[in-house]
Structure 1
Amino acid sequence: MSDTFHSRFSAEEMAEIRRSLRDEARFGSEFLGRLKRVAKRVPFAEDLLAAWICTRDPATPRRVRLTLLAALGYFVLPLDAIPDILPFIGFTDDAAVIAAAIAAVAGSITPEHREKAKRTLAEL
């Protein structure tokens, strides 16, 4: 990894990300609330929920948890590369971040996580 990495987030935004991720209860309620509001509009809702369920599984390795939480944090944050209110393209950046995170940890999201996500979405 290069030592020249520069964050696209401001110092204030990074502080808010860290604060949000430290407070798991708040982060969880924000994530689930946002998912409920947009679940019908985003085709990757099941992946989002499966990733969340995976982070809550005590058997999930810490590295996997952190990778998924970072991607889910991007979904929750109101600050986006592409604003979510734009029709058709608003969630493309979120989808790309989630897809990359899931690809990086694909073996850790189990069929059980996916099945629980499917059942939960059906209840929304």
Structure 2
Amino acid sequence: EFFAGPVVAAACSVPRGLELPGVGDSKQIPENEREELFKVITETPGVVWSVRVLDHEVIDEINILEATMQAMTGAVEDVVQQLERPKKVQKQPVFIAVDGNRLPAALKEDSLHGVPIESEAVVK
């Protein structure tokens, strides 16, 4: 019996003007560099992040594409909810770039949890 998974999606919000050199398509980054970038992302003041992991049971139930979309949406929702805390976000749009060729349905809307968003799928 074959099980797929898990599927993992991450999202982060980086303050305007802050650059995180080396951050890009995780499939193009060697594992040791990914681990270092994880430390940079999670330890840099002002960066808000979330990771969602869905196991093989969810994938088997709803399929890999839907599980991926669900994980991406959940990770972005987590970040947006953290940004909703006072003084962390103004009512200017939050830009969301998705590393892939599709946007989850929730990210095609004009807002997420009352926070204006602009989204685009970016394929490298």
**Same-fold call, TM > 0.5?**
no
Greater strand fraction, Structure 1 or Structure 2: 2
Greater helix fraction, Structure 1 or Structure 2: 1
Q: Looking at CA atoms only, which structure, 1 or 2, has the larger radius of gyration?
A: 2
User: Could you state the TM-score of these two structures normalised by the residue count of structure 1?
Assistant: 0.31
